[in-house]
Amino acid sequence: MIINNIELNGFRNYIAGSCSFDPGVNVITGSNAQGKTNLLEAVYYLTGARSFKTRSATDVINAGSETGSVRAGIISGGREQFIDIYLSRSERKKIFVNGVKMKNAWSLSGRFCCVLFCPDDLELIKGGAAERRRFADLAISQLRPKYAEILAAFNKHLEDKAKILRDFRDRPDMLDVLDEFSLNMAKYGADIIRYRAAWCARAAEAAFTVHRDISGKNEQLRMQYRTVSTIADPLKLSRAEILDRLLEHQESHRRAELESGQCLSGVHKDDILITVNGLPAAKFASQGQIRTAALAMKLAEREICFDELGEYPVLLLDDVLSELDPVRQEYVLNCISGGQVLISCCSGEEILERTGGRIIRIREGKFV
Ligand SMILES: Nc1ncnc2c1ncn2[C@@H]1O[C@H](COP(=O)(O)OP(=O)(O)O)[C@@H](O)[C@H]1O
Ligand SMILES: [Mg+2]
């Protein structure tokens, strides 16, 4: 997959501007706070009209504008395609692919994929379960429109159930629909578990190999998907069995949920356990091991995308190359030969000497 060009209007600190990309290496340079990360965010936005920085749809619109847009020409599936996303503070976003209006953002899944590597990725290892769920969810959503849709439906039900558990003391009639929401959450949850378990198994395999290569063959990275305690190995269960066990787990937490006013049972608590040489990485890994593990997980995401679509996703490296030691830098730069890459850094001449490609200079939200 390749992005040929992008046009930004009222997106973050870009008032109006466009640039074109090299099919190989692109180095995005500029001083701090000029718009390098914003440009990568805009490219990532084309994968599913979602930001990697914020959940709020309007945050990405320029602070002084009512509307914004990201428009781009890409090559995917062997042909040139056009993605136009229009954002507004007062209306739903509108998405067009090759001039045809899409029903929702999930229609973009599988069309244009990116893998982002940024300094915050260390949180993938050190941070809470939410970070790892988000990683898996975004990766699966890019490939599977259905998953994004199911996840959105689950989250809507979760929100509503949380509201019931919070407010039922003042409005006991709300309890009438509690079981219905729980059941629906379990139904969507069963599908989500199947997608996540399958994806994690593939990611674990790919990450293991990448990690072994980077760390010099003496370290073993494992990723294990963890869901509710009544389900040990979801890959060995049918959907009906998974649903039964989710309901069983829900039932056993029913009282605690009512007492605490919180939603305690469900796939919104899932996690991925990451270990290096058998020890939980969050607790025991060194700074260097954490960096390598996070990098391996991201490059695993890239491999899965390639297996699935036959094309490498666009690799976005936000301010990370300079922080990697020479071995890891070399490994990442070698990956580049397989696809397009956008690298942001303060000065990129040195990288381009090694790889060739284009330099894109940015100042105050403008391409210079
Ligand atoms: N919605 C927005 N509207 C206007 N400016 C924004 C918006 N969001 C972020 N910015 C500005 O973008 C700049 C940061 O851009 P960023 O791409 O993170 O910089 P860097 O080049 O360091 O990666 C900051 O000056 C910030 O104020
Ligand atoms: Mg930045």
Whether residues 137 and 240 fall in one domain: yes
270-304 residue pLDDT tens = 999 999 999 999 999 988 889 889 999 999 999 99
CATH label of the domain that carries residue 207: 1.20.1050.90
Give the residue from 266, 284, 312 where a domain finishes: 312
Instruction: Residue 325: count other Cβ atoms within 10 Å of its Cβ.
Output: 11
Rg, Å, the chain Cα set? 22
Cβ-based neighbour number of residue 254 at 10 Å: 14
Largest CA distance in the chain: 69
Q: Which pLDDT score, from 0 to 100, does residue 183 have?
A: 96
- What pLDDT was estimated at residue 353? 77
User: How far from the centroid of its chain's Cα atoms is residue 214's Cα?
Assistant: 23
Helices and strands (H and E) in the chain: how many: 11, 15
Do 269 and 340 lie in one domain? The reply is no
Residue 155: its pLDDT value, please? 96
What is the percent of the chain with per-residue pLDDT over 90, rounded to a whole number?
Answer: 82
pLDDT, residue 311, reads 93
pLDDT at 315 over 80: yes
| Final residue of a structural domain among 267, 294, 312 | 312
The pLDDT score that the predictor gives to residue 223 is 97
334 within 8 A of 4, measured Cβ to Cβ: no
* Same domain assignment for residues 126 and 81: no
Residues 323 and 207 in one domain: no
Full strand arrangement of the beta sheet holding 67-76: 14-20, 2-11, 67-76, 79-88, 94-97, 100-101
Same domain membership, residue 196 and residue 66: no
Q: Which of 22, 27, 24 is nearest to 6 (CA)?
A: 22
Ligand 1, atom 15: closest residue by C-alpha: 35
Tell me: the pLDDT tens digits for 104-129?
Answer: 888 898 899 999 999 889 999 999 99
Q: What is the pLDDT of residue 192?
A: 98
Closest approach atom of ligand 1 to CA 35? 17
Task: Report the separation in Å between the CA atom of 14 and the middle of ligand 1, taken as the mean of its atom positions.
Answer: 9
User: From start to end of 109-175, where are the E strands?
Assistant: 114-117
Residue 246 sits in the same domain as residue 140: yes
Give yes or no: residues 73 and 139 share one domain.
Answer: no
pLDDT surpasses 90 at 218: no
Residue among 233, 268, 242 nearest 190 (CA)? 242
Question: What's the predicted TM-score (pTM) here?
Answer: 0.90
Mean pLDDT of 189-212: 96
Same domain, 143 and 280: yes
Which range marks the domain in which residue 332 is found? 1-113+314-368
Residues 7 and 25 both lie in one domain: yes
Exposure string (b/e) for 10-39, b if CB count within 10 Å is 16 or more?
A: bbbbbbebebebbeebbbbbbeeebbbbbb
Domain count, the chain: 2
> How high is the mean pLDDT of the chain?
93
Q: Which of 279, 365, 351, 283 is nearest to 321 (CA)?
A: 351
CA–centroid distance, residue 19 to ligand 1 (Å): 18
Greater confidence, 274 or 57? 274
Atom of ligand 1 nearest to the CA of 59: 1
Which ligand 1 atom lies nearest to the CA of residue 41?
A: 17
Token readout for 286 is 């060194």
Residue nearest to atom 17 of ligand 1 (CA): 35
Q: Is the pLDDT of residue 323 over 80?
A: no
Q: State which of 276, 291, 312 marks the end of a domain.
A: 312
Give the CATH number for residue 338: 3.40.50.300
Structure letter (DSSP) for residue 176 = G
The secondary structure of residue 61, as a DSSP letter, is B
User: Do the beta carbons of residue 52 and residue 46 sit within 8 Å?
Assistant: no
DSSP helix/strand/coil, 187: helix
- For residues 87 and 66, what is the distance between their CA atoms, to the nearest angstrom? 9
34-38, 118-122, 336-340: lowest mean pLDDT where? 336-340
Q: Token pair for residue 283? A: 């607790």
Q: Whole-angstrom Cα distance, residue 200 to residue 189? A: 16
Mutate to test the pocket of ligand 1, among 9, 11, 13 (most ligand atoms within 8 A of CB): 13
What sign results for the dihedral spanned by CA atoms 45, 308, 243, 274? negative
Q: Are residues 188 and 42 in the same domain?
A: no
Query: The tokens 């990275």 sit on which residue?
Result: 221
Smallest Cα–Cα separation from 196: which of 159, 155, 150? 150
Same domain for 154 and 25, yes or no, is no
User: What are the pocket residues of ligand 1 if the criterion is a CB atom closer than 6 Å to any ligand atom?
Assistant: 12-13, 30, 32-38, 59, 61-63
Q: Are 234 and 325 within one domain? A: no
Helices in 78-126 by DSSP H: which ranges?
A: 123-126
CA dihedral 197, 203, 204, 205 (to 10 degrees): 120
For the stretch 232-271, pLDDT in tens is 999 999 999 999 999 999 999 999 999 999 999 999 999 9
Residue 198's pLDDT band (cuts 50, 70, 90): very high
Q: From atom 14 of ligand 1, which residue's Cα is the shortest distance away?
A: 33
How far is ligand 2, taken at its centre, from the CA of residue 261, in Å? 39
